[in-house]
Amino acid sequence: MFDEINEKQVIERQRLLSDMLGVSGNEEKVVQFIISEIEQYVDKYWIDAHGNLMAVINGQKDHHALLLDAHTDEIGFIITHINEKGFAYFMLMGGWDERVLLGQSVIVEPEHHRLHGVIGALPPHVVPESERKKPIPVEKLFIDFGFRSKEEAEKMGVKVGTVGTLYSGFQELPGGLLKGKAFDDRSGCNILIQTLINIHDKEIPRTTCFSWSTQEEVGLRGARTSAYFLDKKYNIEMGIACENTTAADVPGVLPQKCPSILGKGPVITLVDSSMIASKMVIERLIKVAEKYDILYQFKVPSRGGTDAGAIHLTRAGIPCGVVSVPGRYIHSPCTIIDKNDLIGAIKLVTGFLLDFSSD
């Protein structure tokens, strides 16, 4: 079907994408990296007013086009106040699991240099015993960057409006598992990059549009405008959002409540909070998976949504599906995925594009 995928290259790209800081509305570094990966392989690429990166590979037939989407942003925070002693208060951006915040390492990158800090709160020794076991509201948390004053913080570029995120380094774990931050949705970004590389020298039957969209984590915003433009110009026939999704194969979760499982292949969504997936797209994905012996699983219906929720409502409507990489502990600084699920998702999406030649 396509050339053998360079697994080491995919894993190294996952590491690089994971380590980048790209909080919603501040995705520029991620976008520039993606451009460096794809520019030699595409017929056209551009960045729109929303910061969405779009690219096109022209097909061989006079058909409507296909659309692949992934979002470049990650959840994070924005600094809202710095006190006289240099401690920074913040507001969350995106859907954090607030239980994990206290004591976490954070990063910011003002003026192109990375600074590290720690999320702190009043120590338990100085609060009433009745308060010690209660959740700490975000407004009572602060970030300690090690500054001695507000002036020192501002001199280092940390000020109101600076964005950052919780930080966890990338590691390869036993059994082919990968750990890092921002796999939601740098996994999807990786899938699109590698799929583009896989098809660039093939006689693809459909023009294929790629959209690395911004601000998904705060309301599917970038995909609304990118899908509108691409559909208007290229007449999109079908779309697929590539994502990271919840794997809950951990102690205490009933099988019928587990959205997906690590190591069981890429996940095909049937329904979520933002969309009922197109039967036509689902059937094509299943056909490709079975034709090429690609392990896959269905997402047990659960909460959450993806860019497909915006794309499928674009203009007169676009039939959409979602292909995801299952990940434990998403929306935290430490997501774990199985490299084989990531490779499987690349194969499934690549096959989906190339298999249109049989129509």
Distance set, CA 114 to CA 19, 111, 153, 173 (Å) = 11, 9, 13, 26
Residue 169: CB atoms within 10 Å: 13
- Alpha carbons 42 and 30: distance in angstroms, whole number: 18
Active-site residue (options: 109, 216, 217, 243): 216
Distance set, CA 334 to CA 13, 104, 128, 216, 284 (Å) = 17, 11, 32, 19, 33
Helices (H), 156-220: 183-199
- 63, with CB counted inside 10 A (0-12, 13-18, 19+), is middle
Q: Any catalytic annotation for residue 74? A: no
Helix H or strand E segment including 291: helix 279-291
Cα dihedral 157/159/164/166 (nearest 10): 100
Residue 188: CB atoms within 10 Å: 32
Residue 122 one-letter amino acid: L
Q: What amino acid positions are annotated as catalytic residues?
A: 216
